[in-house]
Amino acid sequence: MTDAEIRAEFAHHDRSVARVNNGSFGCCPASVLASRARWQRLFLSQPDAFYYDSLQPGLARSRAAVAALVGAGDASEISLVDNATTAAAIVMQHVAWSFAEGAFERGDAVLMLLYTYSSVKKSIHAYVARAGAHVVEVPLPFPVASPAAIVASFRAALALAKSGGRRRVRLAVIDHITSMPSVVVPVKELVAICREEGVDKVFVDAAHAIGQVRVDVRDVGADFYASNLHKWLFCPSAVAFLHIRKGDPAAAQMHHPVVSSAYGNGLPMESAWIGVRDYSAQLVVPDAVDFVARFEGGVDGVSRRNHDKVVEMGVMLAEAWGTFLGSPPEMCGSMAMVGLPGCFGIDSDDDATRLRTMLRKDYKVEVPIFHNSRTQQVATTDANGDQVTGYVRISHQVYNVREEYEVLRDAVNKLVLDGFSCTQLRPSPPSQNQKMLAH
Amino acid sequence: MASAHTPCNDNAAAKKNGDGGTPITDAEIRTEFAHHDRSVASVNNGSFGCCPGSPGLARSRAAVAALVGAGDASEISLVDNATTAAAIVMQHVAWSFAEGAFQRGDAVLMLLYTYSSVKKSIHAYVARAGAHVVEVPLPFPVASPAAIVASFRAALALAQSGGRRRVRLAVIDHITSMPSVVVPVKELVAICREEGVDKVFVDAAHAIGQVRVDVRDVGADFYASNLHKWLFCPSAVAFLHVRKGDPAAAQMHHPVVSSAYGNGLPMESAWIGVRDYSAQLVVPDAVDFVARFEGGVDGVSRRNHDKVVDMGLMLAEAWGTFLGSPPEMCGSMAMVGLPGCFGIDSDDDATRLRTMLRKDYKVEVPIFHNSRTQAVAITDANGDQVTGYVRISHQVYNVREEYEVLRDAVNKLVLDGFCCTQLRPSSPSQNQKMLAH
């Protein structure tokens, strides 16, 4: 793939924006979008024939492609769903039934991480806490110095959850790569600890993982493993897979929450028919796999180069701003957390959101911003001695170029020079009204 | 999903027929549906709907609210399809059982012809959580709405078990799928209220765009319909209406829980993770499209109804059979008996015949098997018992010739002495038939 070909494949991206946020919505090249359009047209042309002749064989090919990619034993271990949020709902609903039907006792524990994705936390609350589980959150340090820091935190929280052996831990929810702040978690080690300590089931929410780090589901050894294919594996919105180990007795009890005539035929089949809808994103998985194979070294080559580039850009930004990375390079995939100058005074999630919005509108930079609460963390200061409470999460994907990170660098430097502080963006103080009038 | 040609833009003046522009022409209709496979007589709009080639979420909810007589856009949630809407209702009822608001053994009612996926949903959620499920037997062929009402009253009385059992939920189709009839939902909902049924869910998957929908008039607690079947939206988008002020509303959740959880079902449904919401975003465009027809959606559905009945009678006369319900119980779909000599004796027979019609005769039409044991024996003009029906649909893109292709295909099969035994596996005539292909 030449640079010119890459530009052509992503010509639909808004070129006026420094798009350093592949992590949120992913990307899809033109050739995969074209395949998707062909599937859509096939459906529109003769929907009944499509349903009877084309849909299920197409989905079977996609499941097989995923199985090969992730080291699954068998394509029957793979279910295709919209996104990791849906995969989480499947797992949580199963656990809720276990509580409701008495397989688990009220008060049995379910573990999750402090940085577990917000929608997954809500899912745990909506299903599992509601059904009677005692939910334990594993505190995680950030900035984080090494994988060992996460392992130690996890062991301690697990011991607390087990309450000296008086409480069963029925489920541990572990991110492979957390979203905000983003770090690569040593999942294999944590899964092993769960097995040693008698945790019933482990769900690895790997929403960001595939295409970013190597995924080998048997090596990780979780009971349930889910990842989005539209974030880092060039599929269109939206398609994800949920892997369940073959022979797991829970497999027959896992159901898609949208129940259709396929109910009872196994989760892969249930997920392949959840009523009339557009399945084209799920049908182009083989095309996306073909696309990434066109790069030198295939998906491993792509993720390795993305990693090297994002670390290089992260270090460049940190040097320019007098800050630092939120984790060592070994704990970065294709994303990196870079501290923002402490003088910005980011003191809340709202501050982070408003700053992000301003960067989007006024500086044409798209980058998510994480607020790191002062009370939670050890104070870490920048080169000027100001406490760093905000981080950008930069991503690098094949379409990114150095200039985009320089736009981000220069935008932040300009804000520093202008004496910017997040107080200026908060509603209702007089200086805010002046600022709005000036716009 | 843009077509290469955008007739909507070319006819901006014609967009609002109500404002005096000219209504959409046949040529324009053909262009809008140019992506349909023209070699196939496609008389099955009911299954998948259709979408014109021409081109957010709050606007969509408001458009739906206006269309269905809802008091407020906040009563409307957009979901993928009626199957998803059913899952939302069933999960809510399951929690009510699990958390003790309902008692194990309390009853839930559904119809014999409730859609298979909804039956599975009732089983997966509500029966699993402890409900006693009661199925309302329905006659088919059906002579009048009164026959359905009588059947419903009787089943409800049985379910209530002389007052000893609470009926917590009644699931009523507005238009059943197979066999397809228009059900007198308003009357059934009223009966449910009289008899103290807690909640009524009207599964109106087929209704909007086919019959007039006025959710306040129907009076159900939950009412859901697909917008991609008869209202020209792409796959897939449906709405679930929950009456404002219904205490259950705050307890209804989308099963795919996101960060929007707890903000009300409309908001929860508007964010279920990263995915393509474009089908939901084009509802106002679909509403604009149907407004280009004379009489708008009412005009379209009235003409579809007249045409489908016309074509149904034409087929019935040609085949010596009859309609499965009177025209008043048809929307834009009609059930027409197939000649009894076909010997359709199972759902598999029906499926195989359908496949043969698709592959060999280029006709797309679903076929319903009416079990001999369930129905009163009804014979065709030759005295053979009718056990199979086609479900024909009429939508704006259909032309008479397509129904004639269907008519002629069946007539040829009759002349050839066709019988479903020939399609069953392992019969010698089947092997011969396959070799001949």
pLDDT computed for residue B11 by the predictor? 38
Contact A40 B120 (CB under 8 A): no
A158-to-A114, A151, A183 alpha-carbon distances in Å: 13, 10, 20
- Output the DSSP codes for B74-86: GGEEEES-HHHHH
Q: How far is A249 from chain B (nearest CA, A)?
A: 18
The backbone torsions φ and ψ at residue A274, rounded to the nearest 5 degrees and listed phi first, read -120, 40
- Nearest-by-CA chain B residue for A270: B117
pLDDT < 70 regions, chain B: 1-21, 48-55, 374-376, 427-437
pLDDT of A267 over the 60 cut: yes
Write out residues 407-426 of A within 8 Å (CB-CB) of B. Answer: none
pLDDT of A416 over the 60 cut: yes
Model ipTM? 0.93
Residues of chain B with C-beta less than 8 angstroms from the C-beta of A274: 80-81, 83-84
A55 Cβ contact partners less than 8 Å away, ≥ 6 residues apart: A272, A279, A283
For the record, the structure tokens of A194 come out as 């769960």
Residues of chain B with C-beta less than 8 angstroms from the C-beta of A84: 273
CA distance A189 to A146: 13
> What are the pLDDT digits (tens) for A11-33?
999 999 999 999 999 999 999 99
For the record, the structure tokens of B21 come out as 């522009």
Contact A238 B129 (CB under 8 A): no
Residues of chain A with C-beta less than 8 angstroms from the C-beta of B123: 263
Q: How many CB pairs under 8 A join A and B?
A: 157
CB B259 within 8 A of CB A120: no
Q: Which residue has tokens 């027979």?
A: B349
CA distance B228 to B206: 9
Contact A264 B120 (CB under 8 A): yes
CA distance B42 to B358: 10
Chain centre to alpha carbon of residue A248: 25
Long-range contacts of B247-254 (CB under 8 A, 24+ apart): B248/B92, B248/B199, B248/B221, B251/B92, B251/B95, B252/B88, B252/B89, B252/B92, B253/A126, B253/B88, B253/B91, B253/B92, B254/B77, B254/B79, B254/B88
The backbone torsions φ and ψ at residue B190, rounded to the nearest 5 degrees and listed phi first, read -60, -40
Residues of chain A with C-beta less than 8 angstroms from the C-beta of B50: 44
Check if B121 contacts A (Cβ < 8 Å).
yes
Check if B166 contacts A (Cβ < 8 Å).
no
Contact B274 A88 (CB under 8 A): no
Q: What is the pTM of this model?
A: 0.92
CA distance B327 to B143: 10
Check if A36 contacts B (Cβ < 8 Å).
no
Q: How far is B275 from chain A (nearest CA, A)?
A: 5
Residues of chain A with C-beta less than 8 angstroms from the C-beta of B125: 259
Check if B3 contacts A (Cβ < 8 Å).
no
Write out residues 91-120 of A within 8 Å (CB-CB) of B. Answer: 92-93, 97, 100, 118-119
Q: How confident is the model at residue A432 (pLDDT cuts 50, 70, 90)?
A: low
Percent of chain A with pLDDT over 70: 97
Residues of chain A with C-beta less than 8 angstroms from the C-beta of B395: none
> What are the pLDDT digits (tens) for A349-376?
999 999 999 999 999 999 999 999 877 6
Amino acid at A140: L
Mean pLDDT value across chain A: 95
pLDDT computed for residue B8 by the predictor? 35
The backbone torsions φ and ψ at residue B109, rounded to the nearest 5 degrees and listed phi first, read -105, 140
> What are the pLDDT digits (tens) for A63-97?
999 999 999 989 999 999 999 999 999 999 999 99
Residues recorded for chain B:
437
**A125-136: average pLDDT:** 98
Q: Beta strand A390-395 with B76-79: parallel, antiparallel or unpaired?
A: unpaired
Contact B86 A259 (CB under 8 A): yes
The backbone torsions φ and ψ at residue B388, rounded to the nearest 5 degrees and listed phi first, read -140, 145
Contact B91 A257 (CB under 8 A): yes
Write out residues 5-24 of B within 8 Å (CB-CB) of A. Answer: none
> What are the pLDDT digits (tens) for B355-385?
999 999 999 999 999 987 766 679 999 999 9
CA distance B77 to B64: 9
User: Which of B49, B256, B274 lies nearest to residue A237, judging by beta carbons?
Assistant: B274
Amino acid at B424: R
